[in-house]
Copies of this chain bind each other. A is one copy, B any other.
C-alpha cells in the first residue's frame, strides 16, 4: 500500500478546497507551469524552428504515448497523442469499420459519453453506407453483440454512475462474434489498472485532462492493436501521419505503425504540460491507486448512508464494479452541488438529479471524504436551497 503524501505534494491545490472533480479536470501539478514556461523560453524562444528536431518536439507524441502505454497495458510504440478524444473516436471507429467491411452495426450503450455517440453519428453520415448506431442499456450490451456487430464502442466507466464494464469479458464476446472493440478510457486511464493487450482490445482512446492531470484541453491518445495498425488507411490522413512528411509528396502514404494515426502538427504546449503531469506515475503503482480509491468510495458510501439519508446511491456499491467515482441522486441535486461548491467541496452535477464525486487518492484522502460528507450533511439538514438568498450567493461562486 502506497503512502500518498508524496503524490499530494506533487499537486498544487488551493487551500480550503476539497477537490472531488478530478474526473472532470485534474489539478495542476506543482512543476507543470514552470515546465511549460521553460519549454517556451528555452526551446521555442531560443531554438525556434530547430526545436522540432533539437528539442524533440516532433517525437513528443510518441514519447508521451509511451508514458501512457504502461498505464493502460499497451506495449511501447502502440500509443500516440494529439487532437482530442472526439477526433480519436472518429479515427478508431473509421479504422475498425474498414476492417469489418461487411458488417453495418456500431453497438454502444446509453452509458457512453455523448460525444462518442455524436462522432459515430457524424462518421455514419459521412460514410453514407448504411451503417447503424445501435445504443442499448449498459446491462444489455453483452447480449446485443451479434453477427451484425462491426464494432463495439464503449466507455469502460460510465461518466454519470461510475459503473464499470467488464472489458475482458465484453472484448472476448465481441471477438467471438467477429466484432472489433473500441474502448474509451476517459475515466479509466490513471484511475484503475487497464490491460488492453491482455483483454485483446482492438482500439483504445482517451483524454488526458481527467485522471492524467494534463490540463484543460490536453491532447487525446489512441492505441491500436499491433495486429491491425498496418492495415489501417486513416480517414484523417494528415501530413504527420505520412510515411515521409518532409518529402512533400502529392499523395498520402501511411507511416509505419501507430504514427499513421498522427494528423497535423502536434500541440507542443499541451503535450509538455501533460508530460510533466505524467511524472507522478514514476513513483506510484496503479494497483495501489485502485485499492485506495476503492476504499475512498466505500468510505464515502458509508458516510453518506449514515449522515445523508436523503441521497440515493447511483453507483455500484461493489467497488469492483465501479470506477473511481461515486454518484448520488437527489431531486435538488443542482442546488446541492452549488451549495457544496460555495463551501469549497468541488464535485459535479449531471442532469437531471446526479451529484458526482471523483475519488483520486493521488491527492484526496479519507479525511477529505469525511469533511466533505459533513458539509454535505449540513447542506441537506439545513435545506440551503430553500433560503431566499441561496441562489444569489451560489451565482457568485
Contacts and interface: CB of A to CB of B under 8 A. Distances in A.
Interface of A: 12, 14, 17, 19, 21, 24-25, 27-28, 32-34, 36-37, 40-41, 44-46, 48-52, 57, 82-87, 90, 94, 110, 113-115, 117-119, 121-123, 125-129, 135, 207, 209, 215-220, 233-240, 242, 246-252, 263-271, 273, 341, 346, 348, 350-351, 397
Which of A33, A216, A350 is packed against the most chain B CB atoms within 10 Å? A216
A49 B126 contact: no
Contact of A215 (B28, B33, B44, B50): B44
Nearest to A117: B250
A27 B48 contact: yes
A28 B43 CA distance: 10
B45 A236 contact: no
A118 B236 CA distance: 8
B83 A48 contact: no
B237 A122 contact: yes
Copies in the complex: 2
B94 A126 contact: yes
A251 B68 CA distance: 31
A264 B115 contact: yes
Which of A44, A45, A94 is packed against the most chain B CB atoms within 10 Å? A44
A255 B347 CA distance: 27
A122 B234 contact: yes
Given A32-B40, A114-B250, A118-B242, 5 more contacts: A36-B36, A87-B236, A118-B251, A123-B126, A217-B271
A215 B46 contact: no
A121 B237 contact: yes
B252 A122 contact: yes
A135 to B, nearest CB: 6
Contacts of A33: 36-37, 40-41, 45
Contacts of A341: 50
A388 to B, nearest CB: 24
A246 to B, nearest CB: 8
A251 B121 contact: yes
The 9 closest A-B pairs by CB, nearest first: A84-B264, A115-B239, A122-B237, A86-B264, A86-B238, A216-B268, A28-B45, A118-B252, A33-B40
